[in-house]
Amino acid sequence: MARQTQVSAQISETTRSLMERYVRRTGIKKGHLIEQALVHHLQALDELPAEYIICPRIVVSRRTGEEMLRQADSAEPTAALRELMRDGD
């Protein structure tokens, strides 16, 4: 068995809540979940090209966020998007 070491990290309440729910639902230990998640993530970072890695959170200013929402609400689909969505019909 591989030698183990302890690490400490601060996580958000949201992440903690998600972890707690998953642990209760599946019955696996938190340490095992964290180990597997970290190994999985690090392997993906190693094996996938960087341009295909998508950050789970993107931080923008309030002004930028409001502008993004405004654009999303008023945006009309392009012809290319319509064609893409129609492709399966």
Residue-by-residue pLDDT tens, the chain, 89 positions = 678 899 999 999 999 999 999 999 999 999 999 999 999 999 999 999 999 988 888 899 999 999 999 888 877 888 888 888 887 66
DSSP, collapsed to helix, strand or coil, labels residue 18 as helix
Q: Residue 59: left if φ>0, alpha if ψ -120 to 50, beta else—which one? A: beta
In a domain, 80, yes or no: yes
Backbone angles phi, psi at 44, to 5 degrees: -65, -45
CA quadruple 14, 51, 40, 7: dihedral, nearest 10 = -60
In a domain, 55, yes or no: yes
In a domain, 49, yes or no: yes
In a domain, 50, yes or no: yes
* pLDDT at position 1: 61
Q: What is the spatial distance between Cα 56 and Cα 24, in angstroms, rounded to a whole number?
A: 23
In a domain, 27, yes or no: yes
In a domain, 63, yes or no: yes
pTM of the model: 0.60
Number of domains into which the chain is organized: 1
Half-sphere exposure of 40 (CA within 13 A, CB side): 6
In a domain, 6, yes or no: no
Longest Cα separation, the chain: 57
Domain span at 50: 13-86
In a domain, 31, yes or no: yes
Q: Which residue has the tokens 């998953």?
A: 22
